[in-house]
Chain A
Amino acid sequence: MNISTGDKIPNNVDLAGDKVLQRALEQWQPEFLNWWADMGPEGSRTNDVYLRTAVSVEPSGWAHFDYVKMPDYRWGIFLTPIDGGRKVNFGDHKGEAAWQDVPGEHRANLRRIIVTQGDTEPASVEQQRHLGLTCPSLYDLRNLFQVNVEEGRHLWAMVYLLHRYFGRDGREEAEALLQRRSGDPDNPRILGAFNERTPDWLAFFMFTYFTDRDGKFQLCALAESGFDPLARTTRFMLTEEAHHMFVGESGVGRVIQRTCEVMAQHKTDDPARVRALGVIDLPTIQRYLNFHFSVTIDLFGADVSSNAATFYSSGLKGRFEETRHGDDHLLRDATYPVLQVLDGHLQVVQAPALNALNEKLRDDYIKDSIAGVSRWNRIIQKAGIAFELTVPHKAFNRKIGPLAGVKIAPDGRLVSQEEWAARESGWLASESDREFVASLMGRIATPGAYANWIAPPAVGINKQPVNFDYVRFG
């Protein structure tokens, strides 16, 4: 179905055919716009931004580029087209036709899944709202804004599901999504990582690399859902999520590239000297990485979880690439390795696979993350510098699950409180690291100019040159 762009709310779900729903969403729309005005990117209302907007869900139509003022962005509701033959592919309902409505018995769980996912979307916009003031280039500013408007659209995607399928409860949850605030002690966002600050652009790139990648894996698991509208919504969201991970991967890559250029030019690997030359030293990048990686893997939840088992068995949330797995898709008798501290050592124990699904998703995520880190290492290698970025052990700096409270070094060793306290600042980005990075941040807003601490991108957006006027200030 085509997107009806003439409507107040662009959509491909025949909103005009459901007046009650349409009215409800049209009431939510101004509240959303108020939230955007309060909590969206600071000082950006009049900017003309070279943005990508979907004009149809066909591959040819959803990447339409033009200048848009962000408050006028066409936030809407887009689902991938319905596949009539789609089945529930896992769990107790395996083989049944995929559900077009919410099964009564799973209603509360589904609502919880959707609200948790939905809450992350406005949260990240809130976390990033001051970054525009210190953008390293117009290209990066545009990418930040693209990420922001698409997070806004992802919120719309979840709110549509809440309104359409969850009645009054759903409408109340949709309201609450606009009321919680990232980092607000009285009314925080649901998940921990989404209450952390994103104070500088290195943190932003790390966040989009690591934390948006968590989004990818969560969305992939939900795209397998037996509840078809959720699967179709998240499938379309995944196409947008890809851009966010691109911003992160290429952003960190460009920071590394620039650091390596300066190191090679000045023949130094002394972090203090590198800092004095106005670029971010590789050990600091490693400490940022350690922080964002460990905070993000907590988002997958407890290693052993009965909720995870319920979500899977009831067909609500599958595994990453569920249909690619060659097993029975029931997992009743299978086991999966998880980590525990036994007799003062980290040990692998077998847990029921159903209960260990969070851990399984976390492991898939880790594999994907490591692959990108190895691509960053290629940049360092190419520059002839002997340094390797690594992903810390998955038990490092955990705050959720049985590993929370255990002190584990990035290499996986169990360490004492004293050793942790003595070495923490070498493992995790410290206040002084953040102060240094913050000292480099300054707004560069001339087409083609890039801050000293970051290399220009290899290619521009939509085949435009790197010195294109990606944002025009009105």
Chain B
Amino acid sequence: MSATLARQHVIDPEVCIRCNTCESTCPQKAVTHDERNYVVHFDLCNACGACISPCPTGAIDHWRQVPSAAPYSIAEQLSWDSLPEQAALAVHDGGGMPPEVLAATQAASAGQGGAVSAPWSAQTPQVNLYPVAAPAIARVAGNLRLTDADASCDIRHIVLDFGATAMPVLEGQSIGILPPGANADHRPHYIRLYSIASPRDGERPNYNNLSITVKRVTEDHAGKPTLGVCSNYLCDLKAGDEVRVVGPYGSTFLMPNHPGANLLMICTGTGSAPMRAMTERRRRRRALKEPGETMLFFGARAPGELPYFGPLMKLPKEFIDVNLALSRMPGESRRYVQDRIRERGPDVARLLAHAETYVYICGLKGMELGVDAAFDEVCREHGMDWRELLARLRQGGRFHVETY
């Protein structure tokens, strides 16, 4: 099976009032109707979106991921009384997972001490739908620098639009980018993985897009000046440029779907991407008033180097408990996420002891030990055994690490 998934535009017959606005608006003449329903021709619709905002009801804005060869036919759509559920899609076999993705994923999750299952209530993820041989083509919809002009690093928020191609993702998953060109051995560049920074319904709700957080690499691990192939490629992209995307990847670093779950998130730098995705997911569902706390520890050198600092600071306290750790503030001692965890010991302990708490750690490898020690200390102070608790968290799919 090759890359044969598509996004099919469908209309919710329970909400639609049959006003004909979409049909008269559609430049592709893709909308038609009978006495019962208004429906969309899969072959004619190019997802241009012209019908979306004129629709008075919102019934128009529905999409289903379908095999390109077997979309819902017109006759089928005309017979609907309500929209069908999204069917589970066959996972792509595309020759198995690319070896470099497997290796990178293993290295990234090493810090959690072996395989951990996804939260029990996580939505089943789609994995490896687009292999290297048949990548999805996305277009850059936006490329925004997140860090201050005088910051020590250039971190960017890049929005990729997938048009009519289906790219179903969940918060915590990654996509792979295939940079153009070849390496010194005349082989294609390796896949580079990036965590998705937007929630499952898109950077903009119900647009078929997603965002990633990319730091421009200008030196190697040893500090020697070098230009990262993929990060520089991505950071230099302009709106409208095409990007080859593989994936999505990741089937365990996922958020719980059930109301009442608490999220305890610890991140540094671009490790904030999955945290942003999860936070944004929860923010968009605030009106539902689902129970469950969200606590974030976020480390960077200075506020100007914190990706998403501005929007994060605007979130209300009762929605998310944000704790910043800034390590390069003039005239202040260096503070790291582990220091902030200790300071917030009673609340951290309370959350860790809670059976519905899920822990996520993402960022630089260097933070792992410090965070582990801080958890250990906080637990001891509150009469808990961190090792024993960690084993239980892992067992329950409640402890997830992605570090690099």
CA distance A277 to B24 in the complex (A): 44
Say whether A199 faces chain B, with CB atoms less than 8 Å apart. Answer: no
Contacts A371-B35, A371-B36: A246 and B19 contacting too (C-beta < 8 A)? yes
Count residues of B near A (Cβ-Cβ below 8 Å).
25
> How far apart are B25's CB and chain A's nearest CB, in angstroms?
5
Main secondary structure of the interface of B (DSSP, over half): loop
Given A372-B18, A378-B81, 20 more A-B residue pairs with CB atoms under 8 Å apart are A59-B25, A60-B53, A62-B54, A239-B21, A239-B25, A241-B19, A243-B56, A245-B19, A246-B17, A246-B19, A250-B57, A368-B18, A458-B14, A458-B15, A463-B58, A463-B61, A463-B205, A465-B286, A465-B287, A467-B287
The contact sample of 29 A-B pairs, CB cut-off 8 A, is: A59-B50, A59-B51, A59-B53, A60-B49, A62-B53, A63-B54, A235-B24, A238-B20, A239-B25, A239-B54, A241-B19, A242-B54, A243-B56, A246-B17, A246-B56, A249-B17, A368-B18, A371-B36, A372-B17, A378-B81, A458-B14, A459-B15, A459-B57, A459-B58, A463-B58, A463-B61, A463-B206, A466-B287, A467-B287
Give the nearest-CB partner of B18 in chain A: A371
Which B residues are CB-close (under 8 A) to A62? Answer: 53-54
B residues adjacent to A (C-beta < 8 A): 14-15, 17-21, 24-25, 35-36, 49-51, 53-54, 56-58, 61, 81, 205-206, 286-287
Which A residues are CB-close (under 8 A) to B50? Answer: 59-60
B53 near A63 with CB under 8 A, answer yes
Which A residues are CB-close (under 8 A) to B56? Answer: 242-243, 245-246
B57 near A246 with CB under 8 A, answer yes
Which A residues are CB-close (under 8 A) to B36? Answer: 371
A242 near B51 with CB under 8 A, answer no
Which B residues are CB-close (under 8 A) to A371? Answer: 18, 35-36
CA distance A216 to B51 in the complex (A): 19
> How far apart are A426's CB and chain B's nearest CB, in angstroms?
29
A242 near B206 with CB under 8 A, answer no
> How far apart are B34's CB and chain A's nearest CB, in angstroms?
10
CA distance A239 to B57 in the complex (A): 12
Say whether A367 faces chain B, with CB atoms less than 8 Å apart. Answer: yes
Contact with B along A63-90 (1 / 0, CB 8 A): 1000000000000000000000000000
Give the nearest-CB partner of A235 in chain B: B24
Which B residues are CB-close (under 8 A) to A238? Answer: 20-21, 24
Query: Which of B14, B19, B56, B58 has the most chain A CB atoms inside 10 A of its CB?
Result: B56
> How far apart are A252's CB and chain B's nearest CB, in angstroms?
11
Which B residues are CB-close (under 8 A) to A63? Answer: 53-54
> How far apart are A431's CB and chain B's nearest CB, in angstroms?
31
A residues adjacent to B (C-beta < 8 A): 59-60, 62-63, 216, 235, 238-239, 241-243, 245-246, 249-250, 367-368, 371-372, 375, 378, 458-459, 463, 465-467
Query: Which of B35, B51, B57 has the most chain A CB atoms inside 10 A of its CB?
Result: B57
Which B residues are CB-close (under 8 A) to A250? Answer: 15, 17, 57
Query: Which of A59, A235, A249, A463 has the most chain B CB atoms inside 10 A of its CB?
Result: A59
> How far apart are B258's CB and chain A's nearest CB, in angstroms?
21
The 8 closest A-B pairs by CB, nearest first: A242-B19, A465-B287, A59-B50, A243-B56, A63-B53, A246-B56, A242-B21, A242-B56
> How far apart are A145's CB and chain B's nearest CB, in angstroms?
15
Which A residues are CB-close (under 8 A) to B57? Answer: 246, 250, 459
Which A residues are CB-close (under 8 A) to B51? Answer: 59
CA distance A245 to B206 in the complex (A): 25
CA distance A371 to B20 in the complex (A): 14
Query: Which of B17, B21, B25 has the most chain A CB atoms inside 10 A of its CB?
Result: B17
Give the nearest-CB partner of A465 in chain B: B287
CA distance A63 to B21 in the complex (A): 13
CA distance A372 to B38 in the complex (A): 13
Which B residues are CB-close (under 8 A) to A458? Answer: 14-15
Which B residues are CB-close (under 8 A) to A466? Answer: 287
Which B residues are CB-close (under 8 A) to A367? Answer: 35
Give the nearest-CB partner of A243 in chain B: B56
A242 near B53 with CB under 8 A, answer no
Query: Which of A249, A367, A368 has the most chain B CB atoms inside 10 A of its CB?
Result: A249
Which A residues are CB-close (under 8 A) to B25? Answer: 59, 239
CA distance A242 to B25 in the complex (A): 12
> How far apart are A331's CB and chain B's nearest CB, in angstroms?
23
Which B residues are CB-close (under 8 A) to A368? Answer: 18
B54 near A59 with CB under 8 A, answer yes
> How far apart are B61's CB and chain A's nearest CB, in angstroms?
8
Contacts A235-B24, A367-B35, A466-B287: A245 and B17 contacting too (C-beta < 8 A)? yes
Give the nearest-CB partner of A80 in chain B: B24
Give the nearest-CB partner of A63 in chain B: B53
> How far apart are A270's CB and chain B's nearest CB, in angstroms?
29
CA distance A353 to B53 in the complex (A): 39
> How far apart are B67's CB and chain A's nearest CB, in angstroms?
28
> How far apart are B236's CB and chain A's nearest CB, in angstroms?
29
Which A residues are CB-close (under 8 A) to B15? Answer: 250, 458-459
Residue of B19, B81, B205 touching A216 (CB-CB under 8 A): B19
Which A residues are CB-close (under 8 A) to B21? Answer: 238-239, 242
Which A residues are CB-close (under 8 A) to B286? Answer: 465
Which B residues are CB-close (under 8 A) to A463? Answer: 58, 61, 205-206
CA distance A467 to B25 in the complex (A): 30
CA distance A463 to B19 in the complex (A): 19
B287 near A242 with CB under 8 A, answer no
Which A residues are CB-close (under 8 A) to B35? Answer: 367, 371
> How far apart are B131's CB and chain A's nearest CB, in angstroms?
34
CA distance A245 to B20 in the complex (A): 11
CA distance A62 to B25 in the complex (A): 12
> How far apart are A420's CB and chain B's nearest CB, in angstroms?
33
B58 near A242 with CB under 8 A, answer no
Which A residues are CB-close (under 8 A) to B24? Answer: 235, 238-239
Give the nearest-CB partner of B55 in chain A: A242
Give the nearest-CB partner of B53 in chain A: A63
Give the nearest-CB partner of B25 in chain A: A59
Which A residues are CB-close (under 8 A) to B17? Answer: 242, 245-246, 249-250, 372
CA distance A246 to B25 in the complex (A): 17
> How far apart are A266's CB and chain B's nearest CB, in angstroms?
25
> How far apart are A15's CB and chain B's nearest CB, in angstroms?
24
> How far apart are B142's CB and chain A's nearest CB, in angstroms?
17
Which A residues are CB-close (under 8 A) to B205? Answer: 463
> How far apart are B37's CB and chain A's nearest CB, in angstroms?
10
Which B residues are CB-close (under 8 A) to A235? Answer: 24
> How far apart are B49's CB and chain A's nearest CB, in angstroms?
8
CA distance A368 to B18 in the complex (A): 8
> How far apart are B92's CB and chain A's nearest CB, in angstroms?
31
> How far apart are A382's CB and chain B's nearest CB, in angstroms?
10
CA distance A467 to B288 in the complex (A): 10
> How far apart are B361's CB and chain A's nearest CB, in angstroms?
32
Which B residues are CB-close (under 8 A) to A239? Answer: 21, 24-25, 54
Contacts A60-B53, A250-B57, A466-B287: A242 and B20 contacting too (C-beta < 8 A)? yes
> How far apart are B164's CB and chain A's nearest CB, in angstroms?
18
Give the nearest-CB partner of B27 in chain A: A59
CA distance A466 to B285 in the complex (A): 12
Query: Which of B53, B205, B286 has the most chain A CB atoms inside 10 A of its CB?
Result: B53
CA distance A465 to B58 in the complex (A): 12
CA distance A235 to B25 in the complex (A): 10
Which A residues are CB-close (under 8 A) to B287? Answer: 465-467
Which B residues are CB-close (under 8 A) to A216? Answer: 19
CA distance A24 to B57 in the complex (A): 37
CA distance A133 to B54 in the complex (A): 29
Which B residues are CB-close (under 8 A) to A467? Answer: 287
CA distance A241 to B24 in the complex (A): 13
CA distance A250 to B24 in the complex (A): 22
> How far apart are A271's CB and chain B's nearest CB, in angstroms?
27
CA distance A250 to B15 in the complex (A): 8
> How far apart are A83's CB and chain B's nearest CB, in angstroms?
13
